[in-house]
Amino acid sequence: MKVLKFGGTSVGSAERMHALVHLINDSDAKIVVLSAMSGTTNNLIEIATALYAKQNDKAKQLIDVLENKYKEVIKQLYKSESASNKGIELLDSHFNYLHAFTMDLFTVNEERSILAQGELLSTAMFHFYLEEIGIDSVLLPALNFMRIDENEEPDLNYIETNIKAELTKYPNTKLFITQGYICRNAFGEIDNLKRGGSDYTATIIGAAIRSEEIQIWTDIDGMHNNDPRIVDKTHPIAELSFDEAAELAYFGAKILHPTCILPAQQRNIPVRLLNTMQPDAKGTLINSKTTGDSIKAVAAKDGITAIKIKSGRMLLAYGFLRAVFEIFERYKTPIDMITTSEVAVSLTIDNTKNLDAIKNELEEFCSIEIDSDLTIVCIVGDFTAEKQGYALRIFDALKNIPIRMISYGGSENNISILVDTKLKKDALVALNKGLFQ
């Protein structure tokens, strides 16, 4: 069984939903994971933000604007009156639910319930459409099997057991539709897999059912060698290893959710990135093979904070790094880059939720400097030890860009460079010119 995930633009209009049918309507058994229609999750965040700020009139207005958008889609999506009526009923129930929040107290749990409405709507709308045109499918409620644990990590055992139980209820069904992004948390509440999380849903399901292939269908013909939103003349990469794809995703290549490669890699399931607008394009195949090409792609991750930690006692002092790392561990704050010298250690984080508390604890035994608005530029490829000369090419390309930190050698797939976010574009353009042209 294959898992096919379609992102926001691939379900972004009635026309796109119609076109989607041609990509899934063959005799292969498959689970289709859908995102919310493009823009919807952002709209839902705006609604929740207004509710937080107790701007209930603004929230009502935003809900109405969104509902009208969906009413237009419903008009174009269905031909028959009965399907249209079902669509209208569906909108009524979801938008009445949203309106109910404008009449009561608002907390973080309610925000997550609001954010879940996008995927619940898109999947139900598409499922009704399949029904209208006579294609058999089953809508699997993701909230029945997708779960994260108390560390907000996918609970793979639970997911595997529960999705299998759902699937065995329908032994003759070939086509299943389910929601990306949404899940329950360790307390059974509605939660989500963070922005872009539908990719993660697809790879988690793929791993859980030991799928033969996971396909991520989006609006571009695969992973490009650089960020196409920032740099001209980028090109798709035909093949990537799991390690390379994981580094690119984690360090900002928006086409993939930051941690979605891991479940596929753990069970050695190939992931193919494909374009719904150009279904015949080759896309990118991600698997366990390495191609040996030294430099494959560049990605950038914004919102980075650097912390320079200095201690007089660092000199020859063992136990210092442990003491530092323990603080970050206690505050569940992942460290992305790290460099050390004899007297200091610099590291970067992107989650600054507990930065003040971390700072206070660090200051008990060292002096620290904090810098924000930084970007990690990450150069990914297969840098096994024998290869020579690529460092020269990278630093030559970046000769006019001030570099804050460099990290190399942590993996054979990644050289990371920290720059001021203001210089991100210049760095990406310079690397494109120096490495790929």
Q: Which residues bind ligand ADP (CB under 6 A)?
A: 7-10, 35, 196, 218-220, 223-224, 227-229, 253-255, 299
Binding part of the chain for Mg ion, among 5-13, 234-242, 244-252, 337-345 by CB under 5 A, reads: 5-13
Which residue is listed with tokens 């490829």? 381
**Cα–Cα distance between 182 and 189 in angstroms, integer?**
11
Q: How far is the CB of 36 from ligand ASP (least distance, A)?
A: 4
Relative to beta strand 295-310, strand 344-349 is antiparallel
Smaller CB distance to ligand ADP: residue 122 or 348?
A: 122
Max Cα-Cα span within the chain? 78
Contact call for residue 196 and Mg ion (CB under 5 A): yes
Q: Choose the one of ligand ASP, ligand ADP, Mg ion, none that binds residue 245, judging by a C-beta under 5 to 8 angstroms depending on kind.
A: none
Q: How much is the CA Rg of the chain, to the nearest whole Å? A: 23
Choose the contact partner of 9 out of ligand ASP, ligand ADP, Mg ion, none; CB within 5 to 8 A by kind: ligand ADP
Q: Which contacts of 86-91 are long-range, i.e. CB under 8 A and separated by 24 or more positions?
A: 86/128, 87/125, 87/128, 90/121, 90/124, 90/125, 90/128, 91/67, 91/121
Q: Which stretch binds Mg ion (CB under 5 A): 1-9, 19-27, 81-89, 401-409?
A: 1-9
C-beta of 51 vs 248, nearer to ligand ADP: 248
CB neighbours of 173 closer than 8 A, spacing ≥ 6? 136, 137, 138
Nearer to ligand ASP (CB atom), residue 66 or residue 397: 66
Identity of the amino acid at 400:
N
Between 23 and 355, name the residue whose CB sits nearer to ligand ADP. Answer: 23
Least distance between ligand ASP and beta carbon 273 (Å): 14
**Interface residues with ligand ASP (CB under 6 A)?**
7-8, 35-36, 41, 118, 180-181, 195-199
**Apex 91 CA angle, 87 and 97, nearest 5:** 150
HSE-up (13 A, CA, CB side) for residue 370: 14
Q: Which of 309, 307, 314 is nearest to 354 (CA)?
A: 307
User: Cβ of residue 31: shortest distance to ligand ADP, in angstroms?
Assistant: 17
Find which of ligand ASP, ligand ADP, Mg ion, none residue 283 binds, CB within 5 to 8 Å per kind. none
